[in-house]
A and B are shown apart, each in its own frame.
Chain A
Amino acid sequence: MPERPESGDAQSRTIGDDDAGFVARCQRGETEAFAFLVRRHQKKMLNIAYRMIGDYDEACDTVQEAFLAAWRAIGKFRGDARFSTWLCGIVLNHAKSHLAQRTARSHSEGASLDDPATSAEGRFLNEPCCWEASVIEQIEKRERDMKVQECITALEGEQREVLVLRDIQGFSYEEIGAMLKLPEGTVKSRLFRARNALKDGLLKVFGDLT
């Protein structure tokens, strides 16, 4: 299991090194440099937002707002952390803010037909298709992934974000601690509780995972 996080961390470091020059150009007001950074990080940021929010369209809107916020604040970026780490922090904040607004809205308006926990169809239309697998296997996998996402979405917010950052996006504990401004020990304990909670949730959904 540690293989993926380590590889992701190495990839991030490489990207971070490459980002420095573009960040400097962005700070001089060059929008083309920022366009390059958007092109490079949009998928990763979208996936973080999607796993946090659980709704594709809302995740797209959130990422768009987060990139705009990053452009506004890029003058204040001093390079203490890597650009990707800084950008992930912005996306996470926007995702949490979006979730808080949605929660408040659902409390005042009641359950919505568009709520991601209940609207299952069409949520993975943009996922890459595995043409080698059979149609049945594709449908089974899609349903399984939907249930996993539902269980992730059902986690507490603090547990969900560390699980997404570590187990899905592969950030190191150090990077997660920098993003969330938490000590590494807290990140680890929160992650372990999140994994156990997710396991319990999946057991309720699937019965037996083995």
Chain B
Amino acid sequence: MTCKEIENRLPAYLEHLLSPEEKETIEGHLASCPRCSRACENLRKTQRLVQDLPDVEPPPFFEQRIMSGVREETAQKQGILRKLFYPLYIKVPIQAFATLLVAVLAFSIYRTVIPEFKDLAPPAITEPEPAKGRATAESIKAPGAPAIVTPVMKAPARDFSDKKRQGFSAPPVEDGAKADRITGPQPSLPEARAPVAKSAAPVIATREKESLTLRAEALRRTQERADKQEVAQSFEAPLSEPVRKGKMAAMGTAPAPSQAMDAAVHLTIQVKDVSVAVREIEERIGQVNGRVIERQHRDAGALVKAEVAVNNLTAFLHGIEAIGWIKVKKIPRDLSNGTVAVNIQITGEP
């Protein structure tokens, strides 16, 4: 064992941690080696110096310094905990208030959303309007009028359902509406509502698309309503009495509207004496500065075709009220220009 190895083993030797053999070897070496013996003595002296190092004393109020930090931290921690959990007399009301707030918020959001759902069901909402419109139209039309007017008012529902079936690839709104108004079949109201009910299910996914469709539909309805009101306002006042009489006369016998009707006023008047009625009608035409264009005598009646100024049409119709039962078959929508042709079918009473 070399001196370096002996020197490395000296601390363990001084702590009595070596085996008896190692201890005997080191003691033999130390007895014969002054350098290692001095190293051993220096090591003992080193340990004495270390162990003689005095303890330092804590500074004054060191404990108070430490504990002030501890108490400060404890107060902060308790403050956080108290805010979160402990004061039930504060926590419970706050939680109740928060729950109430959430409920009120949810209800207000629900109230805000409801109008959007209403927008998604136009046929159901516009149901009363067709009834009112039909009454107005029927009040001015002859017995054939309901067959014409009713599709106009129900057209939105059918039109909407058709658009739904076509995946919203709708034709131009105005043209489609007019086509329905003239030739389209009358869908029943439940049928018209069914697609709408179906459309309410995928509200979120198709909301935007439906919104566009519904806006177009609403615009079209508004335009139709304006047109109808315009026609009604043009005829309602002057024609109310003849129409009422015509309607009474035509009950149960209303013919289907003719596709061949042109832009003329078509009237049917039922009288006792056809020849007298023809003469009186021609007189009335003359009174309103009208012009008889054609006169045809048939089996049990006659046909008088005349031309009357639009401004005098009302006076003319009032004038022939007393001749017999009048049935208005058709009144053209556009009567803004000069004169209008009036075809009067005169039939004798059976």
Task: Please report A residues at the B interface, Cβ cutoff 8 Å.
Answer: 1-2, 4, 29, 31, 34-35, 38-39, 42-43, 46-47, 50-51, 56, 59-60, 63-64, 67-68, 71-72, 124, 126-128, 144-145, 148-149, 152, 163, 167-168, 188, 191-192, 195-196, 198-199, 202-203, 208-210
Contacts and interface: CB of A to CB of B under 8 A. Distances in A.
Interface in B88-116: none
A148 B53 contact: yes
Interface in B39-84: 39, 41-47, 49-59, 62-63, 65-67, 69-71, 73-74
A191 B11 contact: yes
A38 B69 CA distance: 12
Given A35-B70, A71-B73, 8 more contacts: A39-B63, A43-B58, A128-B55, A145-B52, A168-B51, A168-B53, A192-B11, A209-B46
B337 interface: no
Nearest to A2: B15
Interface residues of B, number: 39
A106 B52 CA distance: 31
Given A43-B55, A127-B57, A148-B53, A195 B43 contact: yes
B15 A209 contact: no
Nearest to A44: B55
Contacts of B259: none
B42 A209 contact: yes
Contacts of B16: 2
23 contacts: A1-B44, A31-B70, A35-B63, A38-B67, A38-B70, A46-B56, A46-B62, A60-B58, A64-B69, A68-B70, A71-B73, A124-B56, A127-B56, A145-B54, A148-B53, A163-B50, A188-B12, A188-B17, A192-B8, A192-B11, A192-B12, A208-B42, A209-B46
A69 to B, nearest CB: 10
A127 B57 CA distance: 6
B38 interface: yes
B42 A127 contact: no
B53 A51 contact: yes
A109 to B, nearest CB: 26
A166 to B, nearest CB: 10
B173 interface: no
A56 B67 contact: no
B7 interface: yes
A137 to B, nearest CB: 13
Contacts of B14: 1
Interface centre among B16, B41, B50 (most CB of A within 10 A): B50
Nearest to B68: A64
A47 B46 contact: no
Contacts of B49: 144, 148, 202, 209
A207 B67 CA distance: 46
Given A35-B63, A43-B57, A210 B50 contact: no
